Amino acid sequence: MFTGIVTDLGSLRAVERRADARFTFDTAYDTAGIDLGASIACSGACLTVVDKGPGWFAADVSGETLSKTTLGEWQPGTPVNFERSLRMGDELGGHLVSGHVDGVADVVSSLPEEGSLRLTFEVPADLAKFIAPKGSVALDGVSLTVNEVDGRRFGVNLIPHTAAATTLGGKQAGDRVNLEIDQLARYVHRLLDGRL
């Protein structure tokens, strides 16, 4: 479980392709304090640490994850948002994020707006119903508040800190990001649909 508050902006160091893949990441985390088997959200996808050393850690990535997220497009040097898993008693600064990516959203536009950066995204039709004005979404693992919704499109504003401390500040039209819808929206939809 995560909160959508990115605590390190690292990068992909290397990719080893096998039946699935092994990704090695560069990080500013003190990896001596990270256990093998620990979960780290990597631009929104929860991955398990399987190897580590000073300034790096490795995770195995399944074919399913590669096909359903942006991870299949990553190359060495790709910037990655990191968040370590939530511990009991930690501050919940964003919203509850599972690290289970629901789909990929396309960046439609990225425009300065007063002191912030205004990003507009388009989502797959089957996920649009879960996004509501003033609701929460996680984009590349970053907890954000939705400003407005127009069909399959929605907008968010990034304050300067978020733009500088995450990968989102560098996104342009045509880029793709990992999207996790709010867990509450998912369960409310099931309740209203009569499936619970």
pLDDT digits (tens, 9 = 90+) for 106-138: 999 999 999 999 999 999 999 999 999 999 999
* Res 194: pLDDT: 65
In a domain, 93, yes or no: no
φ/ψ of residue 127, rounded to 5: -105, -15
- 74 with 142, same domain? no
Same domain, residue pair 115 and 51: no
pLDDT score for 1:
85
What residues form DSSP beta bridges with 75? Answer: none
142-145/103-113 β-pairing: unpaired
In CATH, what number is assigned to the domain containing residue 188? 2.40.30.20
Cβ count within 10 A of residue 56 = 16
Same domain, 140 and 181: yes
Give residue 196's pLDDT: 53
pLDDT in 10s for each residue of the chain, 196 residues:
899 999 999 999 999 988 799 999 999 999 999 999 999 999 999 999 999 999 999 999 999 999 999 999 999 999 999 999 987 777 777 788 889 999 999 999 999 999 999 999 999 999 999 999 999 999 999 999 999 999 999 999 999 999 999 999 999 999 999 999 987 777 777 778 765 5
- Residue 95 within any structural domain of the chain: no
Quote the domain boundaries for residue 155.
103-192
pLDDT at 87: 78
pLDDT at 88: 72
108 and 60 in a common domain: no
Domain count, the chain: 2
For residue 91, is it within any domain?
Answer: no
* The predicted structure's pLDDT at residue 58: 98
Distances (CA, A) of 12 to 73, 77, 82, 113, 164: 11, 5, 11, 31, 18
- How many helices (H) and strands (E) would you count in the chain? 4, 13
Task: Evaluate the CA torsion angle 181, 182, 188, 190 in order and state its sign.
Answer: positive
The predicted pLDDT at position 195 comes to 59
Same-domain status, 122 and 76: no
Structural domain ending residue among the three candidates 32, 54, 84: 84
Residue 187 lies in a domain: yes
Q: Same structural domain for residues 66 and 133?
A: no
Inside any domain, residue 97: no
> Which of these, 69, 77, 63, 78, lies nearest to 22 by C-alpha position?
63
Co-location of 142 and 176 in the same domain = yes
